[in-house]
Amino acid sequence: MISLQISEADNSLKLISNSSDSIALATKHLADAQGKVVSGYNQIDKGKKQIISGVNLMYSKLQEFDKQKNQILSKVQQLQTGLTSLKSVFLQISNALNKIAVSMQSMKRYFEGYRTTNIFHVPSEAIKSSSFEKALGSGIMNKDKTIAKIILILDTNPFTNKASIL
C-alpha cells in the first residue's frame, strides 16, 4: 500500500511538473501578449498625439483662411466701390461727349449754311439783346460791319475736369 501511495505520489508529482511546465509556457505567452498590448497602446498613444497635432494644425489653417477670406471680401468691396465710382465718371464723360456732339452738329449745320450763303447769321435773340447793341459801338465790328471780333468770356477754366462735364 505504501508502494501504491508512492506510485500515486510520483504520478501526482509528474502531473504537477507537467502542469508547472504548462503554467510556465502560458505565463511566457501571457508576457509576450502583454508586451504586444503595451506596444500597441504606445502606437495608439503616438497616433492619438499625431491626430491632435493634425487637428490643431487644421484649426490654425482654418483661422488663417478665415482671416484671408475676410481680407479678400474687404478688397472686393473696395473694388466694387471703385468700379461704381468709375461707372459714374464714365457716365459723366459720356453725357459731356453727347453734349459736345450735339453742339458740334449744330455748329456744323451753321457753318455749312454760312459756306453756301457767305452770310453770317446772328440769332434774333442776340440782335435784340442790349449786349449786342453795346458790341456794335465798342469796336467789336469794323466800320463797314463786315468783320467781327468774337470774345468769349468763360466762367470756368476750359482745361479742367469741371468744364469738361458742363
DSSP per-residue codes, 2-69 = HHHHHHHHHHHHHHHHHHHHHHHHHHHHHHHHHHHHHHHHHHHHHHHHHHHHHHHHHHHHHHHHHHHH
Residue 24 has a pLDDT of: 83
Residue 6 has a pLDDT of: 80
* Mean pLDDT rounded to a whole number for the chain: 83
Is residue 50 scored above 60 in pLDDT? yes
> What confidence category does residue 163 fall into, taking pLDDT thresholds of 50, 70 and 90?
low
Residue 120 has a pLDDT of: 64
9 or 47: which leads in pLDDT: 47
- CA 107 to chain CA mean position, Å: 48
Domain range annotation of the chain: 2-93, 122-166
Is residue 116 scored above 80 in pLDDT? no
